[in-house]
Copies of this chain bind each other. A is one copy, B any other.
Amino acid sequence: MNYPKGIIKNHKNTINYSNRGMTLEDDINESNLYYREHDIAYIYKKPTPIKITKVDYPERKKAKIKEAFFMEPSTTDYNGIYKGKYIDFEAKETNIKTSFPLANIHPHQIAHLNHIIRHGGIGFIIARFTKLNQTFLLPATSLLEYLNNSSRKSIPYDYFSKNGYLIKEKLSPRLDYLQIVQNLLEVNYEEK
């Protein structure tokens, strides 16, 4: 399978910080750290799943992985808790200006988001149109509605601007997506 993009950047970032804050993943990680430090929410990125095939033990306590391969994730990348609610989402960026390619999200990740919302959790995707400098939160319900009614291999930008919520970029947290989650929770409570 393909080399996950985030990893290269993460690895590079441990040596070279020049790109820091430029990727969506960095922005989300920084925001999640902000939420934890301010006791607002506990949301983490899951580690990248790998299959380990060779390990060396140069010393008793220092295992070194000599061969491993990237595996396809079974679930979304991010999950955690916010105000007692289970939160679950996937985040991806695209260079395309007019649509978001669905190849960015695996079918089992979409199935997973469906299970989450059926079971009362909060599920969504965060999609960044890098060239437009715009980042949207699209609720899983809207994502699934689109997929049920379309056979296209991408979601048009217009669908995000109509059904998604533009996430404000701030100084801190850089990408305050929980503000939108909070608004959605309040709307849902009012409706009930």
How many copies of this protein are present in the complex? 2
Chain A, range 110-140, C-beta contacts under 8 Å to B: 112, 115-116, 119-121
* Least distance between A117 CB and chain B CB atoms (Å): 10
| A121 and B47 form a contact (CB under 8 A) | no
| Cα(A14)–Cα(B53), bound, Å | 10
Flag A59-83 by CB within 8 Å of B: 1 or 0 each. Answer: 0011111111110011100011111
| B70 and A67 form a contact (CB under 8 A) | no
Instruction: Tell me if A185 is interfacial: C-beta within 8 Å of chain B.
Output: no
List residues of A whose CB falls within 8 A of some B CB: 1-3, 7-8, 11, 14, 36, 39, 41-42, 44, 46-53, 55, 57, 61-70, 73-75, 79-86, 88, 112, 115-116, 119-121
Given contacts A3-B63, A47-B48, A50-B65, are A42 and B81 in contact (CB under 8 A)?
A: no
| A53 and B120 form a contact (CB under 8 A) | no
| Cα(A5)–Cα(B42), bound, Å | 27
Given contacts A64-B67, A66-B67, are A81 and B120 in contact (CB under 8 A)?
A: yes
> Whose C-beta in chain B lies nearest to the C-beta of A121?
B81
| A61 and B119 form a contact (CB under 8 A) | no
| Cα(A66)–Cα(B64), bound, Å | 10
10 closest A-B pairs by CB: A84-B120, A3-B63, A47-B49, A65-B68, A86-B86, A81-B86, A47-B47, A81-B121, A42-B115, A81-B119
